[in-house]
Structures are given as C-alpha cells and as structure tokens.
Amino acid sequence: MKRGSGFKFWVISALAAGMSGGVVAATIDLNGAWQFKKEGEADWREVRVPHDWAIGYDFNPKFDPGSGMLPWQATGEYRRKFTVSEADAKNLATGGEAYLEFDGVMSRPQVSLNGVAVGGSIYGYLGFTIPVGGVLKSGENELSVKADTHRQKTRFYCGGGIYRDVRLRILPKGHVVPGSVAIRTSEVTVESASVAMEWRMDNGELQRRKIKVEKPHFWDVDDPYLYSVEIGGEVYRYGIRTASFTTEDGFHLNGRRLQLKGVCLHSDLGLIGMVANKDALRRQLAIMRDMGVNAVRTSHNCPDPKLLDLCDEMGFVVWDESFDKWDGTAGWTGAENWEEYITGVLKSFVRRDRNHPCVVAWSIGNEIGGQSGRYYTGVSRTSCRKFREAVLSEDDTRPVGIAAWQKETVDAFQDLDLTGWNYARRYMPMKTKYPKIPMVYTESCSSFSDYGYFGNGQPATGRTSYDWDRHRTCGYDYTAASYSDIPDVEFWRMEKDRWMAGEFVWTGIDYLGEPAPWTGKTGKARSSSFGIVDLTGFPKDRFWLYRSYWKKDAETVHLIPHWNWDGRADKVTVMVYTSGDEAELFLNGKSLGKRSKLLDIDYPVDFMKDGVGDYYRICDRYRLTWRDVPFEPGALKAVAYRNGRQIGEDVRETAGKAVSVRCVTDPYSRPEDELFFVRIDAVDEQGRLDPWNESKVLITVEGPAELVGAGNGNPHERTGFASPVQPLFFGRAMAAVRRLGTGEIAVRAKFED
C-alpha cells in the first residue's frame, strides 16, 4: 500500500488490500420496502424497490405490442419513511450535506422530502443526485417519488417506476462533491503509468493529484485487475490500460489486437423486467462469457451503473451508449431546448461512467437519421461536433462515436473519432470516404430463432422464410431480418475485414418488445427472437455456434436438433457446432460419415440481397451438416476431432413422454447469489428432456425464499411472469427466486392438471 502525501485521506492500494479510514460519512440504503400506488389504484401497497410497476402482468396486446404488451405507460407514486440518526444530523448542522442518489427512475420523477419538492429528472435511463441537506431532519423523514411514463417514447420495453437503486448519503463539512471525481490514466507503459485525479470539494474548490504507478498491473479482458483509491473517505476503483481503435488493425487493448466478440444488451432482465439486480446482471454476463464474449454494447441507453461495475470486475470492454434517438426515446418532450437537453444528458452520463476501465468508447446515439418528423432529431455535422465536444468536456481519454446505418449520413460523422455501423457491411461508404476514422460493427446478425423449434426437421430455405403458420423461427439459425445476416456470414465478414474492430451481435439475449418478425399485422409477440439466449436466460442452440467459434479456451461439441421426430418427420437435417475441425455422426451406433469444416471456401463479403440457396454455402466453414438423415428413434451421437484428436461428443436420445418435472439450478447463478435462477425441464422416466412438451407446471418455493418471476422463452407467451403456473416451451421454463434469509430452500415444480 502506498500512501500519498499532501491530502489527508487518500490511499492507493490494490483492491484486495485494506482501506484507510476517512471522514465520517453515512450511507442509508433506501432500497427495500416502499409503499406504492399506481394510476387507477385506490390503495397503497407494499413493494420492494428496485421496482418495475409493469412487470408480472399477463401480456396483453391492448398494451403497446411494440414495447412488450405490458402496462408500463402510467403514473405511479412511491413513499417511504426512514430515520436519520442524531450523529448524522449533526454532520448536517455543522456544514455537511446530504445527497439523495437515484440510479434510475422511469421516468420524469418528481421527488419530495418531508413534503418539500426537492428535484427530479427527465431521462429515465440516467440516475440523478439531489442535495437535500436543507430539508432532511434528525429522526423520521418521509420521502416520496412520483413518476410518469406517459411521455416516454420507446422502441423496446422500458418498464416504470423506481427500477434502480436508491440511497441517501450524509457527508460532513469538507467532503468531495459526489460525482465530481475524475481519474485519468496516461503515459501508460509497462514501466509506469500516470494517474491523474481531480475532484471538487464542497466549498467549490477544484483539487488535483497526480501519482505514478510503477510496473502497473494492466486491466485486461482476461485479467481485469483493479486498483482503488480513497478520496475524501470514498473508495473509487480504476484500471490501468491502453485502448485504441485503429483504422488498419481494429481494436488494440494494452498494445495487442483484440477482436471484439461483442453483444448488444438491453436494459431489461427478462423475468424480473427492468428491476436492476446485480446477481441477474452478473448471470447475464456469465452466460455471455461462457460463449466467448469479450465486449458489450449498452444498446441503446445508459446502463445500470452495476453493469459497468461488473464489466470492470469480469473483464468486458464496453461501447457505452447514451441514447437510441435524440427524440422522445431520449426523454425529450419538445419542451426543452433540444441541443441543451442532449448536451446536458451526455455530460452527466460521461461524468457518471468515466472512471470505469471497461468503457472504451462513448456512443452519442443509434441510427439517428434525417431531419424530418415531429422533432428535430437529425444528425448533422454540427450536432455531431457539438455532442462530441460535450462528451470530451467531461472525458477526453476515449473516442466519441455513434452507431449508424445510412450512407447519406457519412459526412455528418467526419469530426467523430469513431463510427459504428449496423448490418450488411454498410460501413463501406464511410471507409471509402473517411478512411482515417476507425470503425466498429455496432450491430451484426439480426438473426432469429426460437429455442427448441426445428420446423419439420429442416432448416429454412431462405433468410426470411419464417414459419408464418406456426409463428415460429427455426433453431437451425438460417433466418435473419431481411437487412441482416446469419451468424456465419458475419463471422466471415469479420475475418475478411480485419481493419474493423469486431462485431456486436444483435442481441446477446432476447428482450421485451420489438417482437420482430411478428410485428405489424402479425404483432402478437411480447418479445424479440433476435437473442442468442432466450428471454429467461436459457441458451438457444445458436449459443453453441458462437461458442464453438468464439471461445478459444474450451471445447464445444453440440448437436442439433433433438431426436424426437416420430410421426413428425421422416428425414431430418443434423448439424454439429464444434470447436474441432471435423466430426463423425452415429445413429444407433451406425456411422453416418465424417464431415470436415471447409476452411478454404470462397464467399463474397458484401451483403447478398437474395439470401437463399448459395447464401448458405458459408455455413460449411463454421458448422458441420448432415442433410436428410432418415429418422429412426434411438441415439444420435456426434464425435468431434481436432487434428485427428478426439475432443468430445454430444448425444441426443429419443425421449419418452414426460413423467415428471426436474428443477435444476441454473449453471450461471452462483450459490451465494441472493437472486438465483432455476431451470425447469419436463423429463421422461430416464430423465431425458421431452422436447415437445408444452404442459403447464406449478412452481413452488419452500424455505426462506420467494418466487420473483417465472416464464418461458416463447416470444408469443401471454402468461405473466408473476404467475407460479407456467406453460413449458419445448420442454422448458425458468424461475427466478430470491433468498430471504439463511436456511435450506426447495424449489419444486409439478405438472398442473
């Protein structure tokens, strides 16, 4: 531990080491029990904050289908009491200050303390801090919050209410103003790094300190080492690393090229909706990490601060995105001066996130187009330049970018440090005209699939051949949005365009809302089908395709489809996703031959408009396919090899009718998690998954725990997550359970007659 000089309370130490003492400050956790009343309700009821007032209801198309079919559009009031000790009150009486910190309220919260209106905010995705020292008193205090989502525009589910953490901090005189600390590293080499810290004291004074760290331990994706520093009694973490986007060689972290194997992630957490929860976030990232992901794009809004804490701790680089559009989706109603509004939000956003080593780029928006429509939302050279300056005024250590899609807008981006492009190799016009601006594939692969569904045992025949009769998209992953591609095409593109930093797949995990392709007249779905992982956090088969290609430190052998086709298909196409280079397929012990990946394939890099026939040739490079295997019940087995050495196998056995329901703790939840997930499988007598089972199950929890939400991955499902009775989807469902104390917990499920 090294102690600096000149300032009383600052210490530099590795995170694991102890911290020094500091000024006496108090934090009152204001999560937990609040009273709540939603528009139209007569009585107050008890809720637990963080809280999403719309999650748990049955999905109903009378509520906007585009944003999740849930009643999030409403007003709601929250109130609670809390106590301030005499000692804390004394801090206030002697020149201290108290700050109410909200990490996010959807949306337009108006906050009152002891009957006095103390402040609010506009943009629901960004937290805010209110100084309340003048109103806070010793003893009991009453806090109330009104939120209103009626004016919130969104293309996805955004929830409603106090959906992120709340706390009160009481700081004595002579404190550092919350949110004012900036920690910048520079002159980073293996020998040393300069760490510059800056903060504002409560008397308005700006203070600075610079230290040198010898032989720094770099923060990296596979070794996310964090330093910490104590400034004014608070501990701040930072990482030492170099990050740069290059025009010719993609992204470099700590001086080496790092291919971004990224995913776009939405703010909603499936079964618990928008409720911000660290265990659920960590689980999402653990699922992504198991697939080989090293980068996250916070599409399209300021994420929960806990997500960035986790990315710091787990080693993900982040494209930190502030907005979808510069319009009502940014919370802007038209009443505020547009440029001032966007500038103000951007500054707060950057101030909030700038000390996270995981953040490697700022994004000022997504697919912001022309200058027409109800609001002026257009991208122009002036607006981009202005917003870039706003970001740089708070942090000049990272590039400022935007995610784009229209070639008409390239000129507007010429002053940005970086551009992101969505789909279909649309980045080429920018590359041609502005070759000195580095690029990222901010959205790739808007492909569709439903977990467990394999049509009639054959992959789709064209990119947009969705199953309109059954309203399903097929698990062979041959379909995508008309403007986008299947995973294999994007893998190929990223191999060819090595000057690109890498891709962010749309999306890592399904989300509520944007229920493509079942939109418009067929708008019957509650959630997306884009995810590599379903809404409940269960990996679709596509997960294994990514894992086989992206995850270098593990072997993957995964066989699709299931092997229950009696009376449904005579011939079935079989695929193997493996990190190996070849595999042999056996049906009931008889070899159906070996297949090898075709690595010297020649295939176009540009978008292929038709997306049929020849389009799928590239799949032979990344997956192994046996077409039209005559179905016969029994065991289908794949044995995979690399360089002739066996690396693993996978088996699908024909299952009998389910006789029971098995509950399995989700492998990505940790035993110590307060909120954990339990998978529910319909199994036959021998414990094999019955892959067509869509029976209803009743889920119960015994012991010191409660069922928080349950559901399945069917985008068309209407049963709300609050219901303990859930239909299975292709044999499966998931439950989210909260531990309420110590002691044994039993989660059980049984078929509901």
Q: Which residues bind ligand GAL (CB under 6 A)?
A: 366-367, 405, 422, 443, 446, 481, 506, 514
Nearest-approach distance from CB 265 to ligand GAL, in angstroms: 12
Nearer to ligand GAL, 419 or 446 (CB): 446
User: Which residues, at least 6 apart from 118, have a Cβ–Cβ distance to it below 8 Å?
Assistant: 100, 111, 112, 130, 132, 135
Closest to ligand GAL by CB, 247 vs 519, is: 519
Looking at the Cβ atoms of 123 and 323, the one nearer to ligand GAL is 323
In whole angstroms, give the CA distance from residue 193 to residue 199: 20
Supply the minimum distance, in Å, between the C-beta of residue 485 and ligand GAL.
11
Compute, in degrees rounded to 10, the torsion defined by CA atoms 615, 616, 621, 625.
-170
d(CA 428, CA 360): 23
- Min separation Cβ 264 and ligand GAL, Å: 8
- Closest residue to ligand GAL using C-beta atoms: 446
Residue with smaller CB distance to ligand GAL, 397 or 464: 464
CA diameter of the chain: 84
Report the nearest approach of ligand GAL to the CB of residue 61 (Å).
20
Task: In angstroms, give the least distance from the CB of 517 to ligand GAL.
Answer: 10
Name the helix (H) or strand (E) containing 385.
helix 381-394
Coil, helix or strand at residue 545: helix
CA dihedral 240, 245, 249, 253 (to 10 degrees): 10
Residues 320/362, Cβ–Cβ less than 8 Å = yes
**How many whole angstroms separate alpha carbon 389 and alpha carbon 348?**
13
Closer to ligand GAL by Cβ: residue 422 or 578: 422
Least Cβ distance, residue 530 to ligand GAL (angstroms): 6
**Cα 498 to Cα 20: distance, rounded to the nearest angstrom:** 47
Q: Are strands 359-366 and 746-751 parallel, antiparallel or unpaired?
A: unpaired
In the complex, the smallest distance separating the C-beta of residue 363 from ligand GAL, rounded to whole angstroms, is 11
Which of 360, 401, 324 is closest to 124 using CA atoms? 324
Which CB atom, from 31 or from 406, has the smaller least distance to ligand GAL? 406
Q: Is the peptide bond prior to 356 cis by the omega test (within 30 degrees of 0)?
A: no
Asked whether 116 and 53 are in contact (CB, 8 A), the reply is: no
State which residue, 318 or 708, has the beta carbon closest to ligand GAL: 318
DSSP-assigned letter for residue 302: P
Nearer to ligand GAL, 320 or 514 (CB): 514
- Smallest distance from ligand GAL to CB 488, Å: 18
**Residues 651, 729, 714, 281: is their CA dihedral positive or negative?**
negative
DSSP characters over 399-458 = -EEEEE--GGGGGGGTTSS-EEEESTTTTHHHHHH-TTS-EEEEEE--EE--TT--TTTS
Q: How far is the CB of 324 from ligand GAL (least distance, A)?
A: 7
Which one, 97 or 485, has the nearer CB to ligand GAL?
485
Between 446 and 548, name the residue whose CB sits nearer to ligand GAL. 446
Shortest Cβ 171–ligand GAL spacing (Å): 40
List alpha helices for 452-608, DSSP H.
487-496, 542-550
Count of C-beta atoms within a 10 Å radius of residue 630: 10
Kindly tell me which of 527 and 693 has the beta carbon lying closer to ligand GAL. Answer: 527
CB of 603 to ligand GAL, least distance (A): 23
